[in-house]
């Protein structure tokens, strides 16, 4: 800030110093989005990236530095790339997040050697310990301006007077106390990536590369005896934008071709959103979740093949049209028709043993082929009071004459779930034109109350 | 109507010509069909027999497993009959091929109109529901892609595609595409068209289905229980086939034995003639009336006219 302005300065003061200053209102949402974008971009260095307030990022680079030629080279690379994108960034690498934070904001940054924590902190103001402005001001009032001043003080009175968090922060900065950072995204169980000398744009190239890197993923899966269920393909565009494409499989996968196949449909589905621009320079394939993999004995009989290809079909369809597109169902123990069956995405349930079990409460009374999404009110005429079928009814503006009727079948509400509903008396009706319907009367005839009639399903 | 009749006649004439070109006289065709009906061993393995001699003869051995078969209803209110026939065919396919997976691709509007397939009811109807899958794609394009992928995968016993009316985006080329997929994968596609017109398509056969009064329940003595609603009956017309004359018949689906039979003529039911013991007030059938019944009560004042 060559103008002598600083963060937190009053606008009036700044205007007094520089009348020609251009004022732009703060937009915290956009700032946050930008920081998230940079954090996404930083994923290329390590999967453990955490946000720090509104203007900082923590990267846990444990075990990553050798990939980039050492700590100094890594830091230089990050800073240079961000500088080229137009950001002025201060960075530091040290043994603890607290020390790096202090070195970035109150020092000169850079790589801080293992044993140099104390010397680095000594001359910094106490605010560098992330203790908040109030605590820093209280310390300043007592003449404790530098971190050095705290070193010589006995710990117990300090904690008593200012609270224990000052000591905690001090210990964290010195590395005596472990401080975990919480990454923004779940870390993949396994992850492979490919850096490209020349950026790729075409979908076929992306898929080809995905298949190739998936092959190296398979070794990792094999050594764990597992197969991946949820995969994430991360595409880093040249200009720093990051695309994440997730795909699920209905059963554990360990075949590179099939893993890439998941993304074939997925890429077609997200085609419009995936703007390749000048191309992607880095591809990463993460396994977000894996399950034990059972090796199927290959068989000459074609039946085995058939059974294996049903999950394949579901994977393809789910990748293209969404995970909830193909629905399977589960029977449940309930007499209320709409509660006896619950729909579940086939993707997550087809690999289970399948629903071989018969309906739990298999009723002898006949159920319709098609059940309306919700019972529709209808008018019933000349119903036999108190518990007979109607002799005529009007549904969807069409009058039907009942020729034959069967019933009633009483379905009582499940009082342990909801206590408001009245019991239903179901009837199968056949009308003069030969159509068969499933209707019910809700409630009973009382002096001041007439029950309502509802259409609920259609028979063959 | 006259135009329609002449068109039919010309069609018959053309069919006869084709039969002659193939070296068969129409008489021979009919005879051959009769032969096949008598001798089920002639049936090729790629057909699923319906178990009714004249239907199987008209279908040249049965329902084709490597092609598309269409079931059409004239009105949405016949959705029950259409769905029933398609599911009965699917149950037959399951029974005779041993495969069990079914995919029902439904149309969202039809779902609202006629309801969703209900697995408990399907199980009672004779369909194996262990691997019954259901999908309701947003657009017809998605539905067609899904049907194509499903048929081509070969993982399903049958794919059921439900559409409504005669959408322009499902024309001859799309139906040709579907039936080619079905042929290549040797897996059947059953097309269920609600409230649709006859239309040129690549389906090998087309049925027209309508509801008919159900047969009565059979008691263990063999007598029929009057007034009961037993197995469903469909009024079927085989509209499209190699057979020159459309075949029309009443078929009953026995969901216990999973087989078709000719509908037995049922007695007029007791309920329909005598209605109830206490029938209450019989309103006359309203004709040209308002859509809703007027509110019952005393009219005290008219609404303002001006």
Note whether A331 and A424 are same-domain residues: no
Residue A417 lies inside a defined structural domain of this protein: yes
- Does A393 have pLDDT greater than 90? yes
Among the candidates A141, A174, A207, a domain finishes at: A174
Query: For the residues B237-262, what does the mean pLDDT come to?
Result: 88
Structural domain span for residue A107: 26-174
pLDDT of residue A43: 87
pLDDT of B189-233, one tens digit each? 999 999 998 888 889 899 999 999 888 888 888 777 877 888 999
**ipTM higher than threshold 0.85:** no
pLDDT of B287-298, one tens digit each? 666 566 666 677
pTM (two decimals): 0.72
Walk across the sheet containing B132-135 and list its strands: A341-345, A326-331, B132-135, B102-105, B158-164, B189-194, B68-72, B205-212, B233-240, B247-254, B259-262
> Scanning every residue of chain B, which has its alpha carbon at the shortest distance from the alpha carbon of A407?
B228
pLDDT of B118-131, one tens digit each? 999 999 999 998 88
- Does B43 have pLDDT greater than 50? no
Note whether A42 and A163 are same-domain residues: yes
Q: Find how far residue A308's CA is from the centre of its chain.
A: 28
Distance from the B5 Cα atom to the nearest Cα atom in chain A, whole angstroms: 27
Cα distance between residue A328 and residue A349, in whole Å: 7
Note whether A425 and A374 are same-domain residues: yes
pLDDT of B103-154, one tens digit each? 999 999 999 999 999 999 999 999 998 889 999 999 999 999 999 999 988 8
Residue A181 lies inside a defined structural domain of this protein: no
* Contact of B192 with B137, CB cutoff 8 Å: no
Q: Is A430 on the interface with B (CB under 8 A)?
A: yes
- Does B84 have pLDDT greater than 90? yes
- Judged by CB atoms closer than 8 Å, whether chains meet at B80 and A436 is answered as yes
Note whether A91 and A75 are same-domain residues: yes
Note whether A204 and A237 are same-domain residues: yes
More confident position, A272 or A220: A220
Among the candidates A174, A208, A225, a domain finishes at: A174
- Tell me which of B91, B115, B270, B275 to substitute to probe the interface with A (most A C-beta atoms closer than 10 Å): B115
Domains and CATH numbers, chain B: 43-262 (3.40.50.300)
pLDDT of residue B274: 47
Give residues 261 to 320 of A whose Cβ lies within 8 Å of B: 306-307, 309-310, 312-314, 316-317, 320
Query: What CATH number should be reported for the domain holding residue A258?
Result: 3.30.1490.100
Cα distance between residue A90 and residue A107, in whole Å: 9
Residue A182 lies inside a defined structural domain of this protein: no
SS3 B305: coil
DSSP string, A241-290: -EEEEEEEEEEEE--HHHHHHHHHHHHHHTTTT---TT-EEEEEEEEEEE
Mean pLDDT of chain B: 82
Residue A78 lies inside a defined structural domain of this protein: yes
Residue A5 lies inside a defined structural domain of this protein: no
Distance from the A322 Cα atom to the nearest Cα atom in chain B, whole angstroms: 10
pLDDT of residue B26: 55
Note whether A357 and A432 are same-domain residues: no
Q: Which helix (H) or strand (E) holds A157?
A: helix A155-162
Please tell me the total count of domains within chain A: 4
Note whether A337 and A388 are same-domain residues: no
Q: Give percent above pLDDT 70 in chain A.
A: 93
- Does A454 have pLDDT greater than 90? yes
Among the candidates A252, A283, A318, a domain finishes at: A318
Residue A292 lies inside a defined structural domain of this protein: yes
- Judged by CB atoms closer than 8 Å, whether chains meet at B121 and A372 is answered as no
- Does A297 have pLDDT greater than 80? no
* Range among A242-256, A263-277, B196-210 rated most confident: B196-210
Note whether A41 and A155 are same-domain residues: yes
Note whether A48 and A71 are same-domain residues: yes
Give residues 338 to 377 of A whose Cβ lies within 8 Å of B: 340-341, 343, 346, 350, 354-356, 358-359, 363, 366-373
pLDDT of residue A262: 86
Residue A201 lies inside a defined structural domain of this protein: yes
- Does B269 have pLDDT greater than 80? no
Mention every residue, 6+ apart, whose C-beta is less than 8 A from residue A444: A386, A422, A423, A451
Distance from the B142 Cα atom to the nearest Cα atom in chain A, whole angstroms: 8
Cα distance between residue B89 and residue A445, in whole Å: 43
- Judged by CB atoms closer than 8 Å, whether chains meet at A460 and B253 is answered as yes
Minimum-distance CB partner of B117 among A312, A325, A370: A370
- Judged by CB atoms closer than 8 Å, whether chains meet at A459 and B103 is answered as no
> Residue A328: which of A356, A349, A314 has the closest Cα?
A349
Residue A195 lies inside a defined structural domain of this protein: yes
Note whether A331 and A313 are same-domain residues: no
Note whether A228 and A285 are same-domain residues: yes
């Amino acid at each position: 800030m060559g103008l002598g302005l600083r963060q937190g300065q009053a606008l009036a003061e700044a205007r007094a110093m520089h009348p020609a200053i251009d004022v732009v209102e703060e937009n915290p949402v956009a700032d946050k989005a930008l920081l998230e974008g940079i954090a996404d971009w930083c994923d290329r260095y390590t999967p453990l990236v955490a946000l720090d307030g509104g203007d900082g990022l923590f990267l846990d680079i444990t075990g990553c530095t050798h990939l980039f030629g050492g700590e100094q080279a890594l830091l230089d690379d990050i800073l240079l790339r961000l500088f080229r994108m137009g950001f002025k960034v201060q960075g530091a690498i040290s043994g603890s997040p607290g020390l790096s934070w202090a070195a970035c904001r109150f020092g000169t940054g850079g790589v801080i050697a293992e044993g140099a924590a104390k010397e680095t902190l000594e001359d910094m103001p106490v605010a560098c310990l992330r203790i908040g402005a109030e605590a820093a001001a209280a310390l300043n009032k007592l003449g404790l301006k530098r971190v050095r001043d705290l070193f010589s003080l006995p710990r117990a009175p300090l904690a008593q007077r200012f609270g224990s968090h000052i000591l905690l922060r001090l210990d964290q900065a010195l590395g005596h106390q472990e401080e975990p950072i919480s990454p923004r995204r779940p870390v993949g169980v396994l992850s492979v990536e490919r850096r490209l000398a020349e950026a790729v744009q075409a979908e076929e190239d992306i898929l080809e590369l995905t298949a190739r890197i998936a092959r190296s993923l398979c070794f990792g899966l094999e050594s764990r005896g597992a197969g991946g269920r949820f995969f994430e393909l991360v595409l880093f565009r040249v200009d720093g934008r990051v695309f994440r494409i997730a795909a699920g499989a209905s059963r554990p996968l360990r075949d590179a071709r099939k893993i890439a196949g998941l993304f074939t449909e997925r890429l077609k589905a997200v085609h419009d959103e995936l703007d390749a621009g000048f191309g992607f320079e880095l591809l990463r394939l993460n396994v977000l979740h894996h399950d034990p993999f059972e090796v199927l004995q290959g068989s000459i009989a074609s039946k085995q093949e058939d059974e294996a290809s049903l999950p394949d079909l579901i994977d393809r369809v789910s990748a293209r049209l969404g995970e909830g597109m193909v629905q399977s169902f589960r029977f449940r123990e309930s007499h209320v028709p709409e509660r006896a069956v619950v729909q579940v995405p086939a993707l997550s349930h087809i690999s289970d043993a399948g629903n071989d079990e018969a309906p739990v409460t298999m009723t002898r009374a006949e159920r319709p082929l098609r059940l309306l999404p919700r019972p529709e009110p209808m008018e019933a005429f000349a119903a036999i009071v108190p518990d007979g079928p109607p002799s005529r009814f009007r549904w969807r503006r069409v009058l039907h004459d009942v020729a034959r009727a069967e019933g009633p079948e009483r379905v009582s509400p499940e009082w342990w779930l909801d206590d408001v509903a009245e019991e239903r008396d179901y009837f199968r009706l056949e009308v003069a034109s030969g159509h068969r319907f499933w209707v019910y009367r809700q409630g009973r005839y009382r002096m001041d109350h007439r029950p309502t009639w509802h259409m609920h399903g259609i028979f063959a | 109507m006259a135009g329609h009749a002449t068109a039919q006649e010309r069609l018959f004439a053309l069919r006869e010509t084709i039969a002659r070109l193939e070296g068969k006289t129409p008489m021979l065709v009919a005879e051959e069909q009769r032969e096949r009906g008598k001798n089920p061993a002639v049936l090729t393995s790629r057909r699923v027999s319906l178990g009714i001699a004249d239907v199987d003869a008209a279908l040249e051995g049965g329902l084709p497993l490597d092609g598309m078969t269409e079931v059409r209803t004239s009105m949405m209110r016949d959705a029950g009959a259409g769905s029933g026939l398609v599911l009965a065919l699917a149950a037959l396919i399951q029974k005779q091929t041993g495969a069990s997976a079914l995919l029902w691709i439904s149309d969202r509007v039809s779902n609202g109109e006629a309801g969703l397939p209900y697995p408990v009811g399907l199980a009672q109807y004779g369909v194996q529901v262990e691997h019954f899958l259901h999908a309701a794609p947003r657009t017809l394009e998605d539905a067609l892609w899904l049907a194509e992928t499903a048929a081509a995968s070969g993982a399903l016993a049958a794919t059921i595609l439900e559409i409504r009316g005669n959408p322009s985006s499902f024309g001859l080329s799309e139906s040709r595409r579907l039936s080619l997929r079905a042929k290549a994968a040797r897996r059947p596609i059953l097309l269920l068209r609600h409230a649709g017109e006859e239309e040129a398509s690549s389906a090998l056969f087309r049925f027209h289905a309508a509801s008919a009064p159900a047969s009565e329940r059979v008691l263990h003595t063999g007598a029929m229980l009057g007034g009961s609603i037993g197995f469903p009956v469909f009024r079927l017309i085989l509209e499209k086939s190699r057979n020159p004359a459309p075949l029309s018949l009443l078929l009953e689906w026995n969901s216990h034995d999973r087989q078709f039979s000719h509908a037995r003529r049922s007695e007029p039911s007791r309920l329909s003639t005598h209605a109830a013991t206490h029938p209450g007030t019989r309103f006359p059938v309203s004709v040209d009336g308002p859509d809703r019944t007027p509110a019952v009560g005393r009219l005290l004042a008219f609404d303002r006219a001006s």
